[in-house]
A and B are shown apart, each in its own frame.
Chain A
Amino acid sequence: MTKLGSAIFRRLVIIVPYAWLLFFFLIPFVIVFRISLSTTAIAQPPYVPVFSLADGLAGTMEKIRQLSFDNFTWLAEDALYYTAYLSSLKIATVSTLLTLLIAYPIAYGMAQAPRTLRPTLLMLVILPFWTSFLIRVYSWIAILKPEGLLNQFLLAIGVIHEPLIILNTNWAIYIGIVYSYLPFMVLPIYSALEKMDHSLIEAAQDLGCPPITAFWKVTFPLSVPGVIAGCMLVFIPAVGEFVIPDLLGGSQTLMIGKTLWTEFNSNRDWPVSAAVATVLLLILVVPIVFFQNIQAKADEQGK
C-alpha cells in the first residue's frame, strides 16, 4: 500500500516540472510560433488566419496553407532586426562579463567571511529585491543624468569640470544591467565557493602554490559551475531586456526587446513581433542546449 503510494508520489513529483513546462512554456511557444506564421490584418485579433473549431477539416487545411515563413524572410532581409539582435547580444555579453567581474570578488569575500556574518551578507545581497525593479531603474536616471547625483559629486570633488554624459548611452545600460542582475551572479558563485573545502587550498599551498596560483588552479576551477549558472541567469534576461534600455538607453540604442515592443505596440504587427520572439528564443536556447550536452558528455566521460 505504502509502496504503491510512494511510487505514485514519485511519478507525481516528476510530472510537476514537466506539466509546468508544458503549460507555461511549450503551449505559449506554440501559440507564438503559430502567430509568427500568420499575416497581419486589421481585425481582432490583428492577424489572419484565425483557426476555429467551426472550420471543419477542409477549412482547417485551407487555413494551414495560408501560413507562411514570410515574416522570417522579412526579418532576415531587413538589416534593422539583424543589427538589433547583434547589438543585444553584444550588450548582454559585455554586461554579463562586467557583472561577473564585480560579482566574483563579492561572492569570494562573502565565502571567506566569518560563518556568523554570512547570513547577514546574503541578506544584504538580496535586499534590493524588496524594492520594485522599476523604481530602482528610475532612480538610476536621477543618479546618472547630467545634473544628477554622480555628476554633482564628481564636480564637487573636482575630478571633472564638465558633467559626464552617461544617461542615454550604452554605458547607462551596462550600469543598469550590472546593478539589476548582480545578485543573480553573486548567489550561484557564492554557493559554489561556500561549498568548497578550505583544506583544498591548504593542500595546494602545501604542494608549493602561492595563494594566487592556488586560486587559479583550485578555487576558480571549482567555482566554474557557479560562474556558468550566474552568467546564464544574467545573460539570458539581459538579451531580451526592455525596461533598462528603454529608460536608461538613448534613442540610438538598438536592442531586440525594444524592437519587439515597437512592433507589437506601435506597429500592431503581431506576426512580425512573434517571429522576432521566436528567433530570440532560438538564439538563446540552442547554445544552452548545446552547452549542456557538452557538459553532460564530460560528466559521462569522467565515469
Chain B
Amino acid sequence: MKSLGNIRRSFTPWADPQSKPYISFKNVTKKFGDFTAVDDLTLNIYHREFFALLGASGCGKSTLLRMLAGFERPTSGEIILDGQDIAGIPPYKRPVNMMFQSYALFPHMTVERNIAFGLRQDGMPKAQISERVAQMLKLVKLEQFAQRKPQQLSGGQRQRVALARSLAKRPKVLLLDEPLGALDKKLREETQFELMDLQQQLGLTFVVVTHDQEEAMTMADRIAVMSHGKVVQVATPAEIYEAPNSRFVADFIGDVNILEGKVKSADNGRVEIASDDFTVRTLSDARQSAGSSAAFAIRPEKLRISRTAPADPSVNASQGEIWDIGYLGDMTVLHVRLPSGKVVKTSMLNAQREVENPIGYDEKVWVSFAETAGVVLRD
C-alpha cells in the first residue's frame, strides 16, 4: 500500500487547535422524504487540504458534495465556508467547482468549449482562455480531441474532459466526484500524481470522492470513511490503515484479520485477549474491562510465518497449516488454517520470501505477530 500522501509534505493543520477549518459541516442532516442520506454529520476540512471521502455506494458521499456545491439544501445543520455560512448563497456564486459523477458535459459544445465554459462566463480575456484551455487539455492528455463533441469520446475521455472543465477555473475549493473511476490503471496513477501536483502548486482545497481506497491513500492528506450518512473515522491514510477505530473501517480499508475473544486482563494500557488460537497480548488505550468481549484487528502483512516456533515466548504465536497460496507477482498471499478452523490471511513480499525453499501447501507453520502489530477495535 503506497502512502505517498503523507511523506510529500508535513501538513497537519487538523492537529493544531489554533488553525481554523476552511470548510465546516456542523451537524448537517439531509433527508430525502423519510430517507436520511446524511445523518447529523460534523466534519472539518482545512485550507489547502486534499481530503478524500471513502465509503460504500449510497452512503451519502455525492449528497455531501452536492450540499457544498449548493445543489442540495441541508435539512438541518449548517455549512461554513471560509468563515461564512453558505446556506443562502446560490451555486453560481460559490467559490466552489464540482466535477459531476455523471460528468454532465454539454453535448452541444466541443471539448474545448466545454472546458472554456466557466472561463468565458467569468469574462476572462480570449488569449488567456485559450492558454488555460490548452494547459488543461495537456493535463488530461486530450490535445488532439479539442474539436470533438462529448458523444464522440470514450467514457474515460469524457471523464477527463469533466475533470479539465472543473479544474479550469481554479476554484478555491474543488469537489471531485469519482474523478478517475473510468480510467485505466496506468493513466489513473499518472493523473493522481498530476492532480496532487496541481493542488500543491495552486494551493487549492480538494475534496475527492472515491471508491478506490488505494487512490484515497495515495492522494489524500486525510480520509473520511463514511457509512450510512455518518462519518465513521477521519484520519490520515496511515492512521486509518494502522489504527482503524472500528470493525467497519478495518474491514473497509484493505484486508484485515479479526480475532475475536474475551478480555482476560487489562491494565496500564496493556491488554490480554483470549481468542481461540492466540492469547493476544497487545497495547490499547481504550478502556477494556476483564471479561468483556473484544476484537483485535491485524493486517495480513503484519503476520509472520515461520517453520519454527518464534524464539521469544512473549510473542503472540499459534501453529497452523497452509491452506491456500496466491501468487500476486510482487507478493504472495498465504492463507493459514489455525487449530480452531479459522483461516487467517497473511501476505509477504516476494523479495523476502525464501525463493530456494518456499513454504508449500499443507505445510505446518507458525503464525506470530508483535504486540504493536494490530489494534483492539472499539466496538
Contacts and interface: CB of A to CB of B under 8 A. Distances in A.
Mutual binders A and B: yes
B108 to A, nearest CB: 5
Interface string A10-35: 00000000000000000000000000
B281 interface: no
A206 B69 contact: yes
B91 A206 contact: yes
A207 B118 contact: yes
The main secondary structure of chain A at its interface with chain B is: helix
A241 B231 CA distance: 67
**Interface bin, chain A:** 20 to 34
B92 A209 contact: yes
Contacts of A221: 108
B148 to A, nearest CB: 8
A208 B121 contact: yes
B108 A204 contact: no
Contact of B118 (A200, A208, A222): A208
Interface string B104-131: 1111100000000110011000000000
Contact of A200 (B69, B90, B104): B104
A202 B122 CA distance: 17
Nearest to A210: B92
A207 B104 contact: no
Given A206-B97, A207-B118, A199 B104 contact: yes
Given A204-B117, A205-B90, A206-B91, A218 B106 contact: yes
B154 to A, nearest CB: 15
Interface in B84-101: 90-92, 96-98, 100
B149 interface: yes
Interface residues of B, number: 26
A213 interface: yes
Nearest to A196: B107
Interface string A202-236: 11111111110110011001100000000000000
A214 B91 CA distance: 12
Contacts of A209: 92, 121
B19 interface: no
Interface in B180-210: none
B92 A197 contact: no
Contact of A202 (B104, B105, B149): B104
Given A206-B97, A207-B97, A209-B121, A222 B91 contact: no
B308 interface: no
B135 interface: no
Contacts of B118: 207-208
B345 interface: no
A209 B169 CA distance: 13
A285 to B, nearest CB: 28
A213 B120 CA distance: 12
Contacts of B91: 202, 205-206
B361 interface: no
Contacts of B10: none
A57 to B, nearest CB: 57
A192 to B, nearest CB: 12
A203 B100 contact: yes
Interface in B212-229: none
Chain B CB within 10 Å — which of A208, A211, A217 has the most?
A: A208
A303 interface: yes
A213 B122 CA distance: 12
A218 B91 CA distance: 16
A209 B98 CA distance: 14
Contacts of B98: 203, 206
A202 B175 CA distance: 14
A302 interface: yes
Interface string B318-362: 000000000000000000000000000000000000000000000
A205 B96 CA distance: 11
B152 A303 contact: yes
A26 B165 CA distance: 51
A222 B107 CA distance: 8
A206 B107 contact: no
Contact of A208 (B92, B100, B104, B149): B92
B71 interface: yes
A166 B121 CA distance: 46
A206 B171 CA distance: 11
A302 B107 contact: no
B274 to A, nearest CB: 54
A222 B108 contact: yes
A302 B149 contact: yes
A200 B169 contact: no
Given A209-B121, A302-B149, A197 B69 contact: no
B102 A199 contact: yes
A222 B106 CA distance: 9
Interface in A162-204: 197, 199-200, 202-204
A200 B92 contact: no
A202 B100 contact: yes
A197 B104 CA distance: 8
Contacts of B104: 197, 199-200, 202-203
A202 B96 CA distance: 13
Among A211, A213, A218, max chain B CB count under 10 A is at A218
B218 to A, nearest CB: 26
Q: Which of B92, B97, B169 has the most CB of A within 10 A?
A: B92
Given A199-B100, A200-B106, A222-B108, 6 more contacts: A202-B100, A203-B105, A206-B70, A207-B117, A208-B121, A303-B152
When A and B form their complex, which 6 residue pairs have the shortest distance between CB atoms, in order from nearest?
Answer: A207-B118, A203-B104, A199-B104, A208-B121, A205-B91, A205-B92
Interface of B: 69-71, 90-92, 96-98, 100, 102, 104-108, 117-118, 121-122, 148-149, 152, 165-166, 169
12 contacts: A197-B102, A197-B104, A199-B100, A200-B107, A207-B92, A207-B118, A207-B169, A209-B92, A210-B92, A211-B92, A213-B121, A303-B152
